[in-house]
Amino acid sequence: MRILEWMRRYPMVAATLAVGAVGLIVLAAGQPVLCGWLVSAYALTIAMWQAGHMIRDLRRGAFGLDVLAVIAITATVLVGDHWAALIVVLMLSGGGALEDYATSRAHREISALLERAPRCARRASGDGTFVEVPISEVEIGDVLLVRPGEVVPVDGTLEGEACWFDESSLTGESLPVEHQPGDLVLSGTVSQQVVALIRAEASAKDSQYQQIIDLVQAAAETKSPMVRLADRYAVPFTIVSLAIAAVAWWLSGDPVRFAEVLVVATPCPLLIAAPVAFLAGMSRAASSGVIVKSGAVMEALSRVRTVAFDKTGTITRGQPIVDVIEPAPGFSADEVLAVAAAAETFSAHVLATTIVNAADERGISVPEATQVEEATAAGMTALILGRRTAVGKAEHVRSVTGHVPPAGDVPPGHIAIYVGTEDGPVGRVLLADEVRSHASATLAALHHLGVRSVAMLTGDTEATGRHVAEQVGIDDVRAGLLPADKVSCMTDLPLRPVAMVGDGVNDAPVLAAADIGIAMGARGATAASESADVVIMLDDLSRVATSIAIAQRTVRVALQAIWLGIAISVVLMVIAAWGLLPAIVGATLQEFVDLAAILAALRAVRPGAGERALAPQLGQPPAAQGEAVTPALADRG
C-alpha cells in the first residue's frame, strides 16, 4: 500500500524507474537497439513536456532554468547516451520528490498548527447533557465542555472552577497558565488536568485560533519570491553553461563533450533551494510566534532600514498603572489611594479600574462609599467616612468640595486623579502608561541588525511622546497624529524599506501603507492583523527584532544555497569540459548536488548564531538548535 501511495504521489519518478527497469530487461534480452529507442523516446517525451512549460513561462515574460534541462536531455539522446538522458530525467523528477520532502520538513510548525485546529465542540443542551456539534454551530453564550488534553474550540470566559491551560500554541510559553473563573480563555489553548467549562464569547470564525490559522494558511500558500530571485540567475547561468559546453565541443571536436557539460549544468539546485529556504524560514518564524504572510514579505523584512512604532499598546503596554501618589499634608499615600478606590469602585472607567486594582494589590483596606454619583468625563462624588468626597479632574474636585486641589504641573506622560473632601484636599494619584520592559533592548537590537532609523508615530501630545521616547532611546518623535497623518508620515521617512509596528484598529491604515506592516496581534486586534504583513502573536515587543533576525538569516541561507548549487555545478562543468566526467556519472552526481543544496536551504529552519546571540539581550532564553524562543515571562500582557 505504501508503494502504491508513493507511486501516486510521485508518478514521474515511478514512470522513470519503470522505463529504466524495462530498458534493462530489454538490454539483458540482447536487444540494445530496442533498449536505446525505448529509453530515448521516453526521455525526449519528458523533454518536450518540459519545453512546453518553458514556452508558457517565456510567453509570460519569465525566463527560467528549464532550457538547460531540455537541452541536456536532447543533447545526450543525440550523441547516443540514452542512459545519461534517463538519469537527467530521473534527477528532475527526483528533485521534485526531494523538494516535497524538504518542504514537509520545513513546513512542520505550520502543519502542526493547522492539524490542531478544533473541528467539534461539546455544547450544553437543555437537559444538562453535553452534545458534540460542529464548531461552526457554536454561538455566543453557549456553554462548552473541554476535557483535559482537548483544544478550546472558541474564545470564551471560564466558568466553574480555576483551570490550568497550555497556551504554547498561541504564545510559545512552555509553562501552563492558571485562569480563574471569569478570565478570558482563547481558542487554541489546551485544558490541563481538569474539565473546563467555557462560555463562548465569539464564534469559531472570529476566535483567536481561527484567525491565526487563516494567517498561516495564507502564508503557506503564497509562492516565495526567491523562486523569481533564483530565476534572476537563470540567464547568466544558462549563458555560462552553454559557453563552457560550446568551448569544450570546439576544443575537443567531440559533440559528446557538449552533452557531458550540460548534464551537470541542470538547474535543480536553483529551482529547489530558494523556496525550501523561505518556507523553512517562515516555519521558523511561526515557531517563534511570528506569522510572516509571504516570502515577498520575508525578503523585504530582511532589508528594513527604518522602523516606526505606534506608542500606546506597542512601546507602552496600553494599560495605565499607578506611578506616583502625592498626599496632601496630614495624609499618607495609602490613605489617598484608599479614598480614591472607594469612589472609583463604582465606575467602569479604565482609570478607575487601575486605581481599584492598585489598592487591592497593596492590600489596602478600602472604606465603604455611599451616595455615589458619576459625572461623565469628570469624576466621582460619594460619601466616604462621613465626608462628601470627590475624585477625578481638578475642576470637578473644586466644584464639589469648594477647595482648590494641590497645585503642581503634571509630569509628561502622566494623568492626574485628584482626591478631596469637604474638609480640604487629600492628594492626587498620578497614572502612567508603563513602557514595556524590553523596549530599550529591542531598539538596541534593531540597530545591531542594520536598522538605521527608529521613529515614533503617536496621537498623544508632543510632551507625552517625548517623555516615552527618551526612556527607550527614540529621537524621531512625531506626535499629535490622526490615523491619516500617520499614513502621510510613511512617505516622509527617507530610509527604505520602512516597517510600521502597531497594535490597534486605528493602526490598520498605516500598517497597510507601510512597506512592511507589523501587527502586535496578541490581543486580537483583527483589523490591524489583516492589514499587516507580519503578525506577532505574542504580547512581546522583542519579537520585532526576532522577526527581522529570522528574515535576514532566511535570505542569507537561501542565497548561500543557490550559490552552493551554482559553484558545485560550475566545478563539475569544468571537469566535464576536460572529458573527465562521463555523462552518466555527471547526471548521477547532480542528485548529490540537489541534496547538498536542499540541506543547505533547510538550515533556515534552525535559529542562527545572530538570533541566539540576541535572545539574552532581549530577555529571552537562548534558543537551542531547532527550538522556539519562548517569550519573556516578565513581558507578557
| Digit-coded pLDDT (tens) for 151-173 | 888 889 999 888 888 776 565 44
> Can you give the pLDDT at residue 494?
81
Beta-strand pair 387-392/379-384: antiparallel
CATH 3.40.1110.10 in the chain: give the residue spans.
318-435
Three-state secondary-structure class, residue 603: helix
Between the alpha carbon of residue 496 and those of residues 314, 444, 452, the distances in Å are 21, 19, 10
Q: Determine the Cα angle at 481 with ends 479 and 483, to 5°.
A: 145
Active-site positions read 310
> Can you give the pLDDT at residue 424?
93
pLDDT greater than 90 at residue 637 = no
Across the range 433-437, mean pLDDT stands at 83
629 band by pLDDT with thresholds 50, 70 and 90: very low
Cα separation, 279 vs 274, whole angstroms = 9
| Digit-coded pLDDT (tens) for 271-283 | 667 777 888 888 8
| Digit-coded pLDDT (tens) for 96-124 | 565 565 555 545 555 555 566 677 889 98
- Which has the minimum average pLDDT: 19-23, 91-95, 102-106, 428-432? 102-106
- Which has the minimum average pLDDT: 214-223, 438-447, 592-601? 214-223
| Digit-coded pLDDT (tens) for 452-474 | 999 999 877 788 888 888 888 89
CATH 3.40.50.1000 in the chain: give the residue spans.
281-316+436-550
pLDDT greater than 90 at residue 266 = no
Cα separation, 42 vs 48, whole angstroms = 10
The set of residues, in sequence order, having a beta carbon less than 8 Å from that of 69 and lying 6+ positions away, is: 47, 50, 88, 92, 266, 267
Percent of the residues in the chain that have a pLDDT greater than 70, as a whole number? 79
Cα separation, 171 vs 522, whole angstroms = 8
Q: Which CATH number fits domain 318-435: 3.30.70.260, 3.30.390.10, 3.40.1110.10, 3.40.1010.10?
A: 3.40.1110.10
11 band by pLDDT with thresholds 50, 70 and 90: confident
Cα separation, 254 vs 217, whole angstroms = 52
Q: What's the gap between Cα 4 and its chain centre?
A: 37
Percent of the residues in the chain that have a pLDDT greater than 90, as a whole number? 22
Cα separation, 164 vs 509, whole angstroms = 38
Q: Which of 44-48, 462-466, 573-577 has the highest mean pLDDT?
A: 573-577
List strands edge to edge, sheet with 184-185. 130-134, 120-124, 143-146, 196-200, 156-159, 184-185
| Digit-coded pLDDT (tens) for 364-388 | 999 999 999 988 768 899 999 999 9
pLDDT greater than 50 at residue 19 = yes
Mean pLDDT of the chain: 80
Assign a CATH topology to domain 281-316+436-550. Rossmann fold (3.40.50)
Q: pLDDT: is 328 or 520 the higher one?
A: 328
- Which has the minimum average pLDDT: 338-347, 523-532, 624-633? 624-633
pTM, entire model:
0.68
628 band by pLDDT with thresholds 50, 70 and 90: very low
Q: How many other C-beta atoms are found inside a 10 Å radius of the C-beta of residue 80? A: 14
> Can you give the pLDDT at residue 398?
92
Between the alpha carbon of residue 576 and those of residues 71, 163, 238, 580, the distances in Å are 16, 68, 16, 5
> Can you give the pLDDT at residue 328?
92
pLDDT greater than 80 at residue 221 = no
Residues shown for the chain: 637
Q: Which of 308-317, 511-520, 551-560 has the highest mean pLDDT?
A: 551-560
Across the range 527-556, mean pLDDT stands at 84
For the chain, the distance separating the N- and C-terminal CA atoms, rounded to the nearest angstrom, is 50
Across the range 399-418, mean pLDDT stands at 85
The set of residues, in sequence order, having a beta carbon less than 8 Å from that of 513 and lying 6+ positions away, is: 487, 490, 500
> Can you give the pLDDT at residue 99?
57
| Digit-coded pLDDT (tens) for 343-368 | 999 987 778 888 999 999 999 999 99
Task: From 172, 177, 140, 169, select the one nearest 156 (Cα to Cα).
Answer: 140
> Can you give the pLDDT at residue 92?
67
> Can you give the pLDDT at residue 188?
79
91 band by pLDDT with thresholds 50, 70 and 90: low
